[in-house]
Amino acid sequence: MPRRARIVLQNVPVHIIQRGNNRQPCFFADEDYLRYLDWLAEYAIKWGCQIHSYVLMTNHVHLLLSSERADAGGMLMKSLGQRYVQYVNRVYHRSGTLWEGRFRSCLVQEENYLLGCQRYIELNPVRANMVLHPAEYRWSSYRANAQGEANALVNPHLLYAALGSDDIVRQANYRELFRYELEAGMVDKIRLATNGNFALGNESFAAQVAAMIGRRAAPGHSGRPRKTIEPESGELLLE
């Protein structure tokens, strides 16, 4: 069966997940995370991508980005993925693939969903029981978005900028969003959309995307999604 073409549109934010092959680690030392972030910044500039949020987990990566070019996210991930694999294979004297096939992605409706997606991304280490609070995790955009830590990689979205009249107010309001866990329904919806290459948003947004791309942009309604637990990551997926 041919794989579904990726849904991409210019100027529409996209959530991307790339996993290590067989859920195995893709980062082994601090230097690996630093190299990946350096190259992410380099290729974001090259392909005209704005990185709004990210987290580097041990065996996978989450990004939230937007661009004026529909193909920019794919070009960034291709360039970055190839360069990082070459680095890992050279440093750790290994060969073969590092990533699990194609990265997964979904378009994100800005209203009501973009900041929720950012919370989903930056709360990943908390859900994985690696830290108690996202500020404790070094390899994410939370400290930049919530605490004003210098980070040239992060380019805030306009909805983030609208959280307040200045940086101090914006950061305080952003931190307020993290006082509570992300709603279970939102978590499931983000996972379903990203793993299924659907549009993340309300029915109107999905219909607009479907009209633009000429095919379905939302999961079918023939039955309830079956929940499974990924064996190594512990993440809940909807199939």
Q: Which domain holds residue 114?
A: 14-214
With vertex at residue 60, the alpha carbon angle to CA 129 and CA 32, rounded to the nearest 5 degrees, is: 100
pLDDT digits (tens, 9 = 90+) for 61-100: 999 999 999 999 999 999 999 999 999 999 999 998 999 9
Q: Is residue 4 part of a domain?
A: no
Q: Is residue 1 part of a domain?
A: no
Q: Report how far apart, in Å, the C-alpha atoms of 50 and of each of 12, 73, 156 are.
A: 11, 10, 8
Residue 10 in tokens: 């210019």
Find the CATH number of the domain harbouring 207.
Answer: 3.30.70.1290
Predicted pLDDT at 221: 61
pLDDT digits (tens, 9 = 90+) for 181-203: 899 899 999 999 999 999 999 99
- Residue type present at position 213: I
Residue 74 in tokens: 């794919």
Residues ≥6 apart with Cβ < 8 Å to 27: 33, 36, 56, 58, 59, 139
Largest Cα separation within the chain, whole Å, is 51
DSSP, collapsed to helix, strand or coil, labels residue 227 as: strand
Q: Is residue 28 part of a domain?
A: yes
Handedness of CA 196, 201, 204, 209 (dihedral sign): negative
Domain total of the chain: 1
Which parts of the chain sit beneath pLDDT 70?
1-4, 221-239
Q: Is residue 227 part of a domain?
A: no
